[in-house]
Structure 1
Amino acid sequence: MPHAVARLRATCLATSLTRPHLDRGPPRKDRCPRCRLIPSHCLCALQPVVPTRAGFCLLMAAFESLKPSNTGWLVADVVPDTAAFGWSRVAVDPALLALLDDPQWQPVVVFPAEFAAPERVVTTLAPTSGPVPASVEEAVSTPRPLFILLDGTWSEACKIFRKSPWLNRFPVLSLHPDQCSRYRLRRSTHTHHFCTAEVAALCLAMAGEAHAAQVLGAWLDVFSSRYLRARQSVPPDAEDDAHQRLRALHPPAATPFAPR
């Protein structure tokens, strides 16, 4: 079954009367519908899936799900409990509100502290957001962390944060990573701006899901490697550092790929 971002993409394709040209340079190339790369660089057979206690809710700007370079898609690849919704200033999807009200989840908006009221800002997760509970009883009574990620350009993410009053009831998690972004698929003038998959990996690490965080980081690196080599008309290198790291963290035989 297609994951949440793939379903949102399909809906956007079916309902949008006009769509931007999102491939770099003519002509537009055929792409694998599953991984969004051109067939010669397809990485579907390598896709990892890591069940986690933490979940993600992606609020995606208009047409973001259609962009081949979008990395929210990679989060949904790796983390099964990933939901995705298109953002609108004038309407809120009832399914989104139902998700945020679900008692199994403890929602938190991930965004820089300087844009939020001080009383909303947190820099660590509440104790209920730690590692997997030790018993079934504890798991039932302990809310799971749900990271709300604003997926779009920096200006789009700021707009979503400012113009979504229904998010105001949730705390704002401010991340302070000690490294610069490694994302190379879109240009940014700020090295402290991270792509959605990088932010998600930081959230997983904070939630005690170190292995899932490492796998997602490696998956992003493999995707980036193949995406850039496809853009340069260079064959993929299955033995580069990114591919070797992904295989070490998540051997292909561990979770056989099943088309969705």
Structure 2
Amino acid sequence: MSRARCPRCARPLTHCLCPLIPHLSSHTRVLILQHPDETAHALNTARLAALGLANAELRVGEHFPELESELAGREAWLLFPGEQALTVEALAAGGSGAPAERLLIVPDGTWRKARRILHCNPWLASLPRLSLGEGLVSRYRLRKAPGPGALSTVEAIVHCLNTLEGAGRFDALLLSFEALIDAQIAAMGEATYRRNHLGETPAD
């Protein structure tokens, strides 16, 4: 029998994260495009970001044909690495203020699934791209990062918004994320976590 879940954060009622999820306003609009395979994942950080930001939206799917016309005329940036990608730090330093219609589009999923979203929406792949700066360290202790500086979706969004709109303004979004990680570690047991994720060998 499955455990009862919170209809808002989708966590078991005994581990509801809603009290830790803020309601933050941002000048930048955030649109998260989540691959369907991520919706049932226990560590769904995109959902936490969407719940915690007043000016954010989460859409699930691979094909988003409606978005091309919806976003016509808006300044939209795709948060995804590429040869011509501009770092978010460079974008923040390059203007006197954020435009009225700046939009940050964030694919959510593994790198393969995120690329699938771009492949299914060619207009999306043609948008100017943003990348994260170097030297970032993820707090995502339960997944091995695919490369240096790789962050979870909520961490990447917090970094971008803090850089664009003021350092530390969106750190509260990470409270529920940290609690989510701590709960997963507690569920598996400290010894199992250390053995499987830190590579530690139990003492004799």
TM-score (norm. length: structure 2): 0.77
Counterparts in 2 of 1:93 and 1:29: CA distance versus 1, 3 Å: farther
Greater displacement, 69-78 / 158-167: 158-167
Shift of 1:81: 1.3
Match of 1:172 in 2: 129
2:44 counterpart (46, 67, 70): 70
Specify the SS of the correspondent of 1:213: coil
User: Which amino acid counterpart does residue 51 of structure 2 have in structure 1?
Assistant: D
**Which amino acid letter does the alignment assign opposite residue 92 of structure 1?**
F
Alignment of 1:1-260 (within 5 A): 28-88=2-62, 91-94=63-66, 96-101=67-72, 103=73, 105-114=74-83, 118=84, 121-123=85-87, 124-125=90-91, 126-127=94-95, 129-130=97-98, 142-232=99-189
CA distance in 1, matches of 2:28, 2:172: 15
Name the CA shift for 1:50/1:216 in 2 (closer, same or farther; >3 Å): same
C-alpha change, 1:206 and 1:221, in structure 2 (3 Å) is same
Q: Deviations over 1:144-187 (max 9, x none)?
A: 42111110112111222344211144210121242221113444
In 1: Cα distance, 2:86 partner to 2:8 partner = 36
Change (3 A) 1:31 1:217: same
| Number of equivalent positions | 186
* Structure 2 runs not aligned, ≥5 long: 191-204
SS at match of 1:155: helix
Kindly tell me: are residues 176 and 60 of structure 1, through their superposed partners in 2, closer, same or farther at Cα, counting changes over 3 Å?
Answer: same
Specify every segment of 5 or more residues in structure 1 that has no aligned partner in the other structure, as ranges: 1-26, 131-141, 234-260
Distance in 2 (alpha carbons) for counterparts of 1:232 and 1:179: 28
Question: What is the identity percentage for the equivalent residue pairs of Structure 1 and Structure 2?
Answer: 28
- After superposition, the C-alpha distances for 1:162-215 in whole angstroms (9 at most, x for unaligned) are 442111442101212422211134444535321100110111022124343311
Q: 1:46 to 1:231 in 2, by over 3 A?
A: same
Conservation of the 8 A alpha-carbon contact between 1:41 and 1:230:
no
In 1, the alpha carbon distance for the partners of 2:109 and 2:35 equals 5
Give the Cα separation in 1 of the matches to 2:10 and 2:57.
19
The alignment yields a C-alpha RMSD, in angstroms, of 2.6
Contact 2:48 2:176 in 1 (8 A): yes
- Cα contact 2:21–2:173 (8 A) shared by 1: no
Contact 2:118/2:125, CA 8 A, preserved across alignment: no
Q: Please report how far the alpha carbon of residue 45 of structure 1 lies from its aligned counterpart in structure 2 after TM superposition.
A: 2.4
Paired residue for 2:199? none
**TM-score normalised by structure 1 residue count:** 0.62
Letter of the structure 1 residue corresponding to residue 55 of structure 2: D
